[in-house]
Amino acid sequence: MRHGKARFVASFLVLPVGLYVFYVLWPYAQDIAYSLTNWGGYSDTQEFVGLDNYVRLFKDELIRKAFWHSVFFLVTVPVFTIALALLFAFLLNVGGRGSRAGVRGVWGSNVYKVVFFFPQVLSLVLVAIMWQAIYRGDEQGLLNGVLIKIGLVDADKPLQFVADPTPFLGVPTVLWWLLLIAVWGGTGFYMVLFSAAMQSIPKDIFEAATLDGATRVSTFFRVTLPLLRDSVSVAWVYLGFIALDMYALVYVMTPSQGGPDHASEVFASVINFTAFNKGQFGYACAIAVALGIFTLLLAAVQLRVTRRERIEY
């Protein structure tokens, strides 16, 4: 019977595994193979160049720029998104303190849940197009229009938003404006994730804390956060991936896709330019492999750092 069972299981797995190997693993393998060549992308000939592409990668100024921009997003996107999502989830689930007994969210929390989650149902490109109207750099832009009307911005010098490469706190301003969109778009989903996790925490724990006279702030830091460690850790890894991408926003919103003057270049925009504009597929594949390795290392480190003993409840 064991043999028959294995066959039964295999018959279910063969199609999905086959598809996965063909459409996911095989392209990975191809990518690695191409990264060792000088393939241009349009011919069927290529030369093997060994690790030349990888050596070149470390000397490439554009890659270095993209790397630091990615580091910026890697730090800021998870920090701001998780902080906001936790705050909202806490307020919506246990933050309410009425005259009545029991643990509940702030007034109107069901409405807030829908409102905060809303960006999640929009496609990223749609989000980018919508924010283009908000960030538009002349008086017809939503923000500029309002700010000019109330006199906070000079009509001759409207805010340039995603076309502004000048540094703010040492980082090109355009990146801060893109960060705002990423955080706005991501918070809702993680708020729901944390809400679900919070709801699985027994209410008695919160009630006990309340009886002991814990304030909202200390309840949050001493009870809620430690019990949510697993969820936060997973969110951190996911948001790391999102931060490493950012490509859709950069591609749709910034001048010359990564500009102005390379101020918003990320790995994906460099790969796109190298492969499709410069016609250096081999080198672009090497950048992609490097990004892949970087992502895996990052995930491993994050999971390692946040791993702790699980608290059973």
Partner 1 sequence: MSQLPDRTSDLSRRSLLRGTAAAGLLATPAVALLSACAGSSSGDDKADTGAKTNDNPLGVADTGKVDVVVFNGGLGDAYAKFDVTVFNKKHAQVTVNLSSTQKIKTEQQPKFSTTPADLINNAGADIMALDTLVNEGALTELTPLLDAPSWDDPSKKVRDTLLPGTVSDGTFDGKVFVLNYAYTVFGMWYNQALFDKNGWTAPTSFDEFFTLAPKIKAAGTAPFAFAGKYPYYMRWAIMSWIWMAGGKQTVVDIDNLKPGCWKTPEVLAALEATEKLVKDGYTLAGSATLSHTESQQAWLDGKAALLPCGTWLENEMRPTIPSGFQMKLANFWSVSANDKAKGAVYAGSGENWIVPKKAANAAAGMEFLRAMLSVEGAGKFAELTSSLSSRAGSGDKVTNSTALVSAGEVMKAASGDLISFKHPDWYADIDKAEQNAIGELMAGRMTAAKFADTLQTATDKVAKDSAIKKFTRDA
- Which residues bind to partner 1, rule: CB under 8 A? 38, 41-42, 129, 132, 136-141, 144, 155-158, 160-163, 165-166, 252, 255-256, 259-262, 273, 276-279
Other Cβ atoms within 10 Å of 243 Cβ, number: 24
Closer by beta carbon to partner 1, 96 or else 145: 145
In the complex, least distance from residue 266 CB atom to partner 1, rounded to whole angstroms: 15
Helix (H, G, I), strand (E, B) or coil at 258: coil
In the complex, least distance from residue 288 CB atom to partner 1, rounded to whole angstroms: 17
In the complex, least distance from residue 153 CB atom to partner 1, rounded to whole angstroms: 10
Residues near 49 by beta carbon (within 8 Å), at least 6 away in sequence? 36, 37, 38, 282
Is-contact 49 38, C-beta < 8 A? yes
Closer by beta carbon to partner 1, 111 or else 129: 129
In the complex, least distance from residue 243 CB atom to partner 1, rounded to whole angstroms: 24
Residue 47 is classified by DSSP as -
In the complex, least distance from residue 138 CB atom to partner 1, rounded to whole angstroms: 3
Closer by beta carbon to partner 1, 237 or else 248: 248
Residues near 179 by beta carbon (within 8 Å), at least 6 away in sequence? 72, 73, 76, 77, 80
Closer by beta carbon to partner 1, 110 or else 277: 277
In the complex, least distance from residue 259 CB atom to partner 1, rounded to whole angstroms: 6
- 122 φ/ψ angles, rounded to the nearest 5 degrees: -90, 145
Closer by beta carbon to partner 1, 41 or else 96: 41
In the complex, least distance from residue 124 CB atom to partner 1, rounded to whole angstroms: 13
Q: Positive or negative CA dihedral for 191, 195, 201, 202?
A: positive
Residues near 193 by beta carbon (within 8 Å), at least 6 away in sequence? 85, 231, 235
Report the candidate in 296, 283, 300, 295 with the shortest Cα–Cα distance to residue 58. 283
In the complex, least distance from residue 132 CB atom to partner 1, rounded to whole angstroms: 8
Closer by beta carbon to partner 1, 166 or else 218: 166
- State how far the Cα of 7 lies from the Cα of 76, in Å rounded to an integer: 49
What tokens does 91 get?
Answer: 């307020």
Closer by beta carbon to partner 1, 60 or else 230: 60
DSSP letters for 168-216 = ETTEEHHHHHHHHHHHHHHHHHHHHHHHHHHHTS-HHHHHHHHHTT--H
Closer by beta carbon to partner 1, 243 or else 253: 253
